[in-house]
Amino acid sequence: MSGTLDGRVVIVTGAGRGIGASVSRLFAEQGAKLVLNDLGANPDGTGGDEGPAREIADEITRAGGEAVSDGGDIADTATGKRLVDLAVSTYGKLDVVVNVAGILRDKMIFNLDDEDWDAVIRVHLRGHFSTIKPAAAYWREQRNPDGHFRIINFTSDSALQGSPGQPNYAAAKMGIIGLTASVANALGRYGVTANAIAPGAATRLTATIPQDKKLGGDRPAADDSRSPDNIAPIVTYLASEASDWLSGRTLGAAGYGVTLWNNPEVRASISSDGPWDLEDLAKQVESEFRPLADGLHPSIFMGQIPK
């Protein structure tokens, strides 16, 4: 049976649990050869255990697929380089990088410790940089503008809509959108696309969020709509050769739905003939921007209207 990812060589970070594990299973079913990384950390990033990475790789090989595992910390850039080298030494090439690894340390901004800021920024932003840099260097060397190479990153509605209790996470996840846009523009000429996914699924990570703060909820669903397995199909499409046309974009995936986000765009502009006069600036902002502001995409999270 042929699959949409037959023979494609893929790195997945955070592959041991949740969305990463679902993506890895479907990719294997669709014929991908996998390098699976997971630190086996607690939801807050502490601890480490090689078990989750090894277990998913074992499960896939037992089912007849191809997978090797790595239990390193993805925010250590040596890990990203090692994964790219492992893909090339094991399978002879690299086609796709899927950056799923993530942690949460939710606090309101006024209670957020430096350490909780740094840990979340480190795992998400450095964790993405860690794989993207060596993969990009490898693809640049291939000199193959028709290479169908892929970078698939993981962002969040927390960033897109400003989750009030997740300032560190929202900042990191918005950073991933900027990183995605930058590498999409930089690497298109080398046959690489880069896109970001904002998922919604019931996993160990969302189980740490208080019930009343959940987007869409982890309410016990009568069906399997909150399963992380529902995120894997759109990631599979993005990883396939068919998605050459799509780059620099953010997609949402939750339940049985997939959405296409717009990038931030200029909706109105005002100007002055010279340095701004404060009164003139205020007048123009009030007359030109204020009527539009209500109609803009709401930067509110789960209906929490800013006071």
Ligand X SMILES: NC(=O)c1ccc[n+]([C@@H]2O[C@H](COP(=O)([O-])OP(=O)(O)OC[C@H]3O[C@@H](n4cnc5c(N)ncnc54)[C@H](O)[C@@H]3O)[C@@H](O)[C@H]2O)c1
Q: Which residues are catalytic?
A: 156, 169, 173
Q: Which of 4, 34, 52, 125 is the binder for ligand X (CB under 6 A)?
A: 52
Q: Which of 31, 40, 162, 175 is the binder for ligand X (CB under 6 A)?
A: 40
Question: Based on CB atoms, which residue is closest to ligand X, 34 or 147?
Answer: 34
Binders of ligand X in range 56-85 (CB under 6 A): 73-75
Shortest CB 203 distance to ligand X, Å: 3
> Counting contacts by CB under 6 A, is residue 177 touching ligand X?
no
Q: Comparing C-alpha atoms, which of 297, 300, 299 is closest to residue 265?
A: 297
In sequence order, the β-bridge partners of residue 253 are: 199, 258
Shortest CB 102 distance to ligand X, Å: 2
Q: Which of 8, 9, 17, 151 is the binder for ligand X (CB under 6 A)?
A: 17
> Counting contacts by CB under 6 A, is residue 102 touching ligand X?
yes
Quote the CA–CA distance of 278 and 285 in Å, as a whole number: 11
Shortest CB 56 distance to ligand X, Å: 9
Q: Which of 180, 200, 236, 239 is the binder for ligand X (CB under 6 A)?
A: 200
> Counting contacts by CB under 6 A, is residue 201 touching ligand X?
yes
Helix, strand or coil, per DSSP, at residue 109: helix
Question: Based on CB atoms, which residue is closest to ligand X, 16 or 65?
Answer: 16
Shortest CB 226 distance to ligand X, Å: 8
CB 105 within 8 A of CB 168: yes
Quote the CA–CA distance of 2 and 164 in Å, as a whole number: 45
H or E stretch at 292: helix 290-293
Instruction: Give the Cβ contact number of residue 226 at 10 Å.
Output: 20
> Counting contacts by CB under 6 A, is residue 19 touching ligand X?
yes
Cα-atom radius of gyration of the chain, to the nearest Å? 21
Burial profile 70-107: b = 16 or more Cβ within 10 angstroms, e = fewer: bbbbbbebebbbbbbebbeeebeebbbbbbbbbbbbbb
Quote the CA–CA distance of 170 and 188 in Å, as a whole number: 27
Q: Taking every pair of C-alpha atoms in the chain, what is the biggest distance, in angstroms?
A: 71
> Counting contacts by CB under 6 A, is residue 103 touching ligand X?
yes
Binders of ligand X in range 116-155 (CB under 6 A): 123, 127, 154
Q: Which of 18, 80, 165, 191 is the binder for ligand X (CB under 6 A)?
A: 18
# residues near ligand X by CB under 6 A: 34
In one-letter notation, the amino acid at residue 41 is: A
Q: Which residues bind ligand X (CB under 6 A)?
A: 13-14, 16-20, 37-41, 43, 45, 52, 73-75, 100-103, 123, 127, 154, 156, 199-201, 203-206, 228
